[in-house]
A and B are shown apart, each in its own frame.
Chain A
Amino acid sequence: NAGVTQTPKFQVLKTGQSMTLQCAQDMNHEYMSWYRQDPGMGLRLIHYSVGAGITDQGEVPNGYNVSRSTTEDFPLRLLSAAPSQTSVYFCASGLAANYNEQFFGPGTRLTVL
């Protein structure tokens, strides 16, 4: 049971480039979410999903797309990277039945030059 995995761990992009951050979970969790953490701040919700085929926006969705074609995977796409998207990105998953506890991946540190 690997829990929540994220790839890559580190990434450097140039302004305007696109990329996909991968997130996978093997716990059959219904809910998956993407957060970003800027220096000195807490996590802010980008997008989330309540099940395969269902996604919705969080607090800071601009510049990001998501899809959820399977229960296991929830990739986050940066369409045209900007320096303001330099951050640490966390993926999380959870079950509604488990006191709403979320399990977090190890994070991806993204730098946009």
Chain B
Amino acid sequence: AQTVTQSQPEMSVQEAETVTLSCTYDTSESDYYLFWYKQPPSRQMILVIRQEAYKQQNATENRFSVNFQKAAKSFSLKISDSQLGDAAMYFCAYRKGWSNAGKSTFGDGTTLTVKP
């Protein structure tokens, strides 16, 4: 079974600074997708960024970028120019292949605090 590990239960960052959240995963598959979700206090799960395993280029979405190291099975999220609204729980998620759109494995999350 696939596992996703987020080794940082809590992180904090100063407003406008950069922070990196770590995620490692275990899989024997070659075709898979990785995601970072944000969960603010409202509980709503919001997709932040996604990465297809077959793509070597790291995904970027505005202030959010990933460092995808396939051989090391590492998928970290970098948040640049942190804003107060970035404070939330962040979950790393793995999904195997094209035909498993309904099945994701999540890490236990990292709570990010943004200090003004």
Contact = CB atoms under 8 A, between A and B. Distances in A.
Given A42-B4, A42-B107, A31 B101 contact: yes
Interface string B5-31: 010010000000000000000000000
B95 A90 contact: no
Contact of A99 (B52, B103, B107): B52
A86 interface: no
B45 A104 contact: yes
The B interface, classified by DSSP as helix, strand, loop or mixed, is loop
A31 B102 contact: yes
B108 interface: yes
Ranked nearest first, the 4 interchain pairs of A and B with the lowest CB-CB distance are: A42-B106, A31-B102, A48-B102, A104-B45
Interface of A: 30-33, 35, 40-45, 48-50, 58-59, 88, 90, 92, 94-96, 99-102, 104, 106-107
Interface of B: 1, 4, 6, 9, 33, 35, 42-45, 47, 50, 52, 91, 93, 95, 98-109
